[in-house]
Amino acid sequence: MTFIVDDLLVRPFVSILDALHALAVQELYDVEEIRDELKENQLLFELGERSEAEYERRRRELEAELEIAEEAREQLRDKSIQVRG
Determine, yes or no, domain membership for 85.
no
Q: Helix %, strand %, coil % for the chain, to 5? A: 80, 0, 20
Number of domains forming the structure of the chain: 1
* b/e code 54-66 from CB counts within 10 Å (16+ = b): ebeebeeebeebb
pLDDT value for 36? 96
Q: Does residue 82 form part of some domain?
A: no
Contact (Cβ atoms closer than 8 angstroms) between residue 21 and residue 81: yes
Strand, coil or helix: what is 26? helix
pLDDT at residue 43, as a whole number: 98
Query: pLDDT per position in the chain (85 positions), as tens?
Result: 556 655 666 666 667 777 776 677 677 778 999 999 999 999 999 999 999 999 999 999 999 999 999 988 888 777 655 555 4
- What is the per-residue pLDDT for 63? 97
* 48 inside domain: yes
Domain of 36?
Answer: 2-77
